[in-house]
Structure 1
Amino acid sequence: MLLTVVIVTKNPGSDIFATLASVLPLDDESVEILIKDNSDDTSIEEINGSFQFTNFRYVHSPDDGIYDAMNQAINLANGEYIYFLNAGDTYIDCDLLNILKNDQTEADFFYGNIVNLYPFARQISYSKYINKYTVYLRRVCHQAIVVKKDLFDQLGLFDTNLSVNADYLFILRLFDQFKGKSIQKLICIYKGGGFSYDYELTSKEIAYLRKELRKFFNPIELKLLSVGKILFSWMVSIKNFNKPT
């Protein structure tokens, strides 16, 4: 199995239909569509009757939040690569299967550009040259990345001590330690506006995140990056000042 597309859900409503419809171009004998669900109503299991994916798996199990659910899905996945989407996100056909099958660069992961719909629609294009410093200043969302499954064996699973930043830490490790390749195409429309936008970090989580960041950056780097992040956010705010919210 070349690729597992993981969709982690909990009471997704009609959003799941849009996401599944978008991944129909990936339907192939070498691809499995895996829904890891913790919904109150398990009728979502029957949804493939509308789509008839070649390889479709539905798993309903309890979890302790999105990162625990994603970790469970990693352990269930059969693909050489894993691509995570949330219900409501839309995959954009970028010839991903051919890229994964024919790449000769020995990349450990691939990443594309996204459209972020929240709080207003805009395209986010990521540079071909990204390292841990640029990831700190401008986060790369996990919907933009297709990663080899065995990297989770080397880097560890998503850190469930964090409610909203575990993918951020994983992606920092990814760009710091492994070889990524930009596909230089749009890969996803990211719905956004979910749990992570409303959640307020606890003081314990803030302290934990700072401790983890000190594993990547020394104190001087963190101070400089903090100033850089403020300036970057200010520039983005000015650029988007007249856009609707």
Structure 2
Amino acid sequence: MKVSIITVVYNGAEHVRDCIESVVSQTYPDIEYIIVDGKSTDGTVDIVKSYGTKVDRFISESDKGLFDAMNKGIGMATGDIIGLLNADDYYRHKRVIENMVATFERAQSDAVYGDMLYVDRNDTGKLKRYWRSGWYSENAFLWGWMPGHLSFFAKRWVYEQYGVFRLDLKTAADYELLLRFIHKNKIKLAYMDEVTIVMRAGGQSNSSLRNRLRGNREDKLAWKLNGLKPYFFTLWLKPLRKITQYITKPPGDPTYKAPEVSNR
């Protein structure tokens, strides 16, 4: 199966090499790598271009934000499977895509998801959060569950049939998309019981109390937009479930350093 990996970036020169290296070093042989740049001015474009044909498709143009750029990448993808990886983040090891495809084949699923680590933005060896998604059970969204969207890989037909990210949501577009795919349309899921993504701490949805409250309102809207009704406690359980992410520790190697960058 061909896998399309999409990275969106805007003025990400500080970290984008780590992201690209983690993709181009993957052991899986059939990867289409797409980078969508928001017309960066900090040298990002030159860094991407330095990878030559290792990046299969690259555009640099103005967009309407993160999710618009993701939608552009999804529209360009020709792979059987689509995955997203932001420019600040990177794959945990070189066999992530290989293991993910094997999970698809073994489970005959429509989508695969795994676990994620949040690390200090400047010291990637310092763990902040461990997002263990765990096994999915029907109606888990009603109990505040969701997988990390960057650990989520879906067949391209899922996007074609059920749609892409909504641009009228700012912080909950990823939640709404997963709610629509998994809870509403009941695509077949498979859990990849390992850490797949390392994310540098930060982002719109969790950077401040104000954004968290706005996110809660948008989460509620996500249910309404899909003609769904949550339990009265669903939208409060969702952020409360994150508390354990600051307490539990991942198994295995405690080192989460970014991948080494090739000399260029």
TM-score (norm 1): 0.80
Greater CA deviation, 2-11 or 127-136? 127-136
Aligned to 2:136: 129
Q: Which amino acid aligns with 1:106?
A: Q
Residue 170 of structure 1 aligns to a residue in which SS?
helix
Equivalent positions of 1:101-140 (< 5 A) are 103-117=105-119, 121-134=128-141, 137-140=144-147
Is 1:187 the counterpart of 2:196 in the alignment? yes
Letter in 1 for 2:90: T
Alignment correspondent of 1:145: 152
TM-score by length of 2: 0.75
Amino acid at match of 2:151: A
> Which residue type is aligned with residue 213 of structure 1?
W
Which amino acid in the other structure matches residue 78 of structure 1? T
The alignment partner of 1:17 has SS state of helix
Match of 1:225 in 2: 234
Return 121-130 or 50-59, whichever deviates more.
Answer: 50-59
> Is the partner of 1:121 in helix, strand or coil?
strand
- Superposed displacement of residue 157, structure 1: 1.1
Structure 1 residue 184 displacement after superposition: 0.8
Q: Give distance in 2, aligned partners of 1:230 and 1:31.
A: 34
Contact 1:91–1:188 at 8 Å: present in 2 too?
A: yes
- Flag the 1:108–1:122 CA change in 2: closer, same or farther, 3 A: same
Deviation at 1:17, TM superposition (A): 0.7
Determine the structure 1 residue equivalent to 2:35. 35
Tell me the C-alpha RMSD between the 2 structures. Answer: 3.2
SS at match of 1:161: coil
Cα distance in 2 between the residues matched to 1:130 and 1:147: 18
5+ residue gaps, structure 1, are: 241-245
One-letter identity of the residue aligned with 2:180: R
**Kept after mapping to 2: 8 A contact 1:89/1:188:** yes
- How far apart, in 2, do the equivalents of 1:48 and 1:24 lie? 12
Deviates more, 1:195-204 or 1:134-143: 195-204
In the other structure, the counterpart of 1:243 is none
**Structure 2 residues not aligned, in runs of 5+:** 122-126, 249-264
CA 135–142 in structure 1, closer or farther in 2 if over 3 Å, else same: farther
Equivalent pairs counted in the alignment come to 237
CA distance in 1 between counterparts of 2:35 and 2:246 reads 39
